[in-house]
Amino acid sequence: MHSSKLVAGAASGALCLVLCGCAPRESATPAGAASGPAAAANESADEFVTRVNGELTARAQEAQAAGFTLDTFITPDTQLLNARANDRYLAYLSKAVAEAKRYDAQKLSPATARALMKLRLNVAAPAPDDAQKRARLTQLEAQLEAKYGEGKYCPSGPASCKNLDQLAEILATSRNYDELTEAWKGWHAVGAGMREDYTQFVALANEGARELGFKDLGVMWRAGYDMSPEEFDAESERLWQQVKPLYDGLHCYARARLERRYGAGKVPPGKPIPAQLLGNMWAQQWNKIYPDILKPYPRASIETADALLAAQKWDAGRMAHSAESFYTSLGFPQLPKTFWERSMFARPRDREVVCHASAWDLATTGDVRIKACLKPTEEDLFTIYHELGHVYYFLSYANQPYLFRDGANDGFHEAIGDTVNLSVTPAYLAKIGLVRALTPSHEALINQQMKMALEKIAFLPFGRLIDQWRWRVFSGEITPANYNSSWWELRRRYQGIAPPVPRTEADFDPGAKYHIPDNTPYTRYFLSFILQFQFHKALCAASGNQGPLYECSNYGSREAGRRFADMLSLGASQPWQDALEKLTGARRIDAAAITEYFQPLMQWLNEQNQGQPCGW
Ligand SMILES: [Zn+2]
């Protein structure tokens, strides 16, 4: 996930995990007339792009440096310096976008046309030209973020207040139906206060998008996929239909287990599952209820790396070196010395920092970093392997011009590290001495697949529906009068869940999900979850893997690494289909690999669900 406003579009800087729940940041306020590009008379489009690439690099370098300093040392001063640097970057960007309009009617080389397209798509909410409207849009963005960031539930006075972290913890750990319902309701009340701001935000951002030549903001978001918005819509739906049988099986099983736990009165067969029972505020991943409710074989345990990480006293540096050694085993270079000197690996004792893991491209060749607070746990080991995926992507496309230093499309960047994590199999962990080398029983395999499916499969309908809702909001098909009812219609249709208490149009439940007030496009996560399995399968073929996909580890395969690097080095310079083809030989995203990966679980679920009233 992008954790900074600055990097909302093409110019990747900081990226973090999809579920990091990034803390809202200082809002950027474009400073209007400040230092825009100095337009040279009769500058050709090619010259313009070259100049803008250079100038954006310099400004991004400043803004990233300010952002990294803020995140690793939060003070009023670093907040101010970061906001100023962001302002300068965004002000420059909007002037460059305005200037680029003079090339609209010209015949351009493919590379220049692509660069100008990436320039236009660089912000997630373009501001209208009108200065007042621009200021208002910025203000609305700041208000929405603040309302989310400061949101609290206070059932009985100020001393009783709970923030999102505390309420999310209740959702994850409580098994008391009423307590869960209250925590869910408490957080979702935060959304209601955003409805009016969001309505105005949509109107102004749409106006900005129209001034850039897009029909509406949703059309603009879909313009980054090298196909028409209609085609992209159809592709997304095709992929969803491919994975839907997997999700349906998981849903049916989870509902039966929840019915056993809470009773048919609370979890009726054949009906959507109440949203507060799945261990997560948005019911987007269900792994928190794995240990006590959804674990298929309670006595078949999966050995995690936790015990040996602690016993062998692994520290953050050793974990990071372990991740690096995976990438170097594929033939990637060692990380630069500055990575080790300038990254933050553990929580400092003497200052406030943003601990959410993120990866940073400081916009100068080779200055890449991560920022994390690693503890010696298996979960954090996966985190650092994931973050290095971003870092190696940064390094692989470092020689591209600035506007092409990005993922092939926005689903690619998140998928790289996750692809590598699919190679972190029990056999791999045994090889590096972090679990004992055991052949897992069939029961343990099903447990393992279930645990993963509750993260990777349970997420898919949620990843699909967020922008289904937003695209229709931006197009006007969904109006403020049915914001909330249409939200729940989509959640019912895709996820098969229902609100725990009746909702009305006085509520605004989309606002209770970070990416709506923050205005971060979401389809990227849906794509990433499917792409990572497709990448994994292609790498496994390249490394000559003969066994099932879920046992394949590409550790040590130079051939797999070469294919991977070929794709990564393109950055965003070519249509993503070309990048995909480099690695997989295919030009379409395909969910066949994720289905293949979960074949054992699918089969098991089919048996479990015999005679159950599946569906909703
Ligand atoms: Zn990430």
Question: At residue 338, does pLDDT exceed 80?
Answer: yes
Q: Residue 333 corresponds to which amino acid?
A: P
Q: Kindly report which listed range (3-12, 98-107, 558-567) carries the lowest average pLDDT score.
A: 3-12
- Hey, is 236 helix, strand or coil? helix
Q: For residue 207, what are the CA distances in angstroms to 125, 195, 210, 211, 594?
A: 10, 19, 5, 6, 39
Per residue in 402-442, pLDDT (tens digit) is: 999 999 999 999 999 999 999 999 999 999 999 987 777 99
Burial 452-477 (b: 16+ CB within 10 A, else e): bbbbbbbbbbbbbbbbbbbbbbbeee
Q: What is the pLDDT of residue 209?
A: 95
CA dihedral 31, 32, 36, 38 (to 10 degrees): -140
Q: Cα–Cα distances in Å, from 355 out to 22, 74, 242, 358?
A: 9, 11, 36, 9
Which has the minimum average pLDDT: 27-36, 264-273, 541-550? Answer: 27-36
359 C-alpha to ligand 1 centroid (Å): 7
- For residue 384, what are its two tokens? 């650092």
pLDDT of residue 40: 65
Q: Which residues surround ligand 1, an ion (CB under 5 A)?
A: 15, 17, 414
Residue pLDDT, tens place only, 22-47? 332 333 333 333 455 666 668 999 99
Buried b (16+ CB within 10 A) or exposed e, 49-71: bebbbebbbebbbbbbbbbbbbb
What is the residue-averaged pLDDT of the chain?
Answer: 91
Q: Would you say residue 13 has pLDDT above 60? A: no
pLDDT of amino acid 127 = 87
C-alpha 377, offset from chain centre: 22
* 9 CA from centroid of ligand 1 (Å): 15
Sign of the alpha-carbon torsion through 44, 50, 54, 59: positive
Question: Per-residue pLDDT tens for 471-526?
Answer: 999 999 999 999 999 999 999 999 999 999 999 999 999 999 999 999 999 999 99
- Over pLDDT 70: what percentage of the chain? 93
Residue 338 CA to ligand 1 center (angstroms) comes to 21
Distance 363 CA to ligand 1 centre (A): 18
pLDDT at 17 over 70: no
* pLDDT score at 134: 86
Q: Does residue 462 contact residue 240 with C-beta atoms inside 8 Å?
A: no
CA of 253 to the centre of ligand 1 (A): 30
Distance (Å) from CA 413 to ligand 1 centroid: 7
Separation between Cα atoms, residue 64 and residue 56, nearest integer Å: 12
Mean pLDDT of 525-554: 97
With beta carbons less than 8 A apart as the criterion, state whether 26 and 82 touch.
yes
Lowest mean pLDDT across 264-268, 346-350, 396-400: 346-350
**Ligand 1 centroid to 30 CA: how many Å?**
27
Task: Give per-residue pLDDT as tens, 118-130.
Answer: 999 988 899 888 8
Are the beta carbons of 226 and 575 closer than 8 angstroms? yes
Nearest to 388 by CA among 412, 368, 363: 368
**For 542-561, what is the mean pLDDT?**
97
- pLDDT one-digit tens code per residue, 363-408: 887 899 999 999 999 999 999 999 999 999 999 999 999 999 999 9
Q: What is the mean pLDDT of residues 107-111?
A: 95
* pLDDT recorded at residue 37: 62
pLDDT, one tens digit per residue, over 219-242 is 999 999 999 999 999 999 999 999
Single-letter code of the amino acid located at 561: G
Query: What integer is the mean pLDDT of 209-221?
Result: 95
The owner of tokens 């109006």 is: 479
Mean pLDDT on 314-326: 97
For residue 91, which phi and psi values (nearest 5 degrees)? -65, -45
- Whose tokens are 């803020």? That residue is 70
Instruction: Kindly compute the dihedral angle of the four CA atoms of residues 292, 295, 299, 304, in this order, to the nearest 10 degrees.
Output: -100
CA 382 / ligand 1 centre spacing (Å): 11
Residues 59, 64, 65, 67: is their CA dihedral positive or negative? positive
Rounded CA separation 33/35 (Å): 7
**Rounded mean pLDDT, 322-330:** 98
Q: Tell me if 555 sits within 8 A of 438, measured CB to CB.
A: no
Does the pLDDT at position 265 exceed 50? yes
Q: Would you please indicate which residues are annotated as catalytic (active-site) residues?
A: 356-357, 386-387, 390, 414, 515, 525
- Report how far ligand 1's centroid is from the alpha carbon of 125 (Å): 22
Residue 434 makes CB contacts below 8 A (sequence gap 6+) with 305, 308, 309, 312, 378, 381
Separation of CA 91 and ligand 1 centre (Å): 27
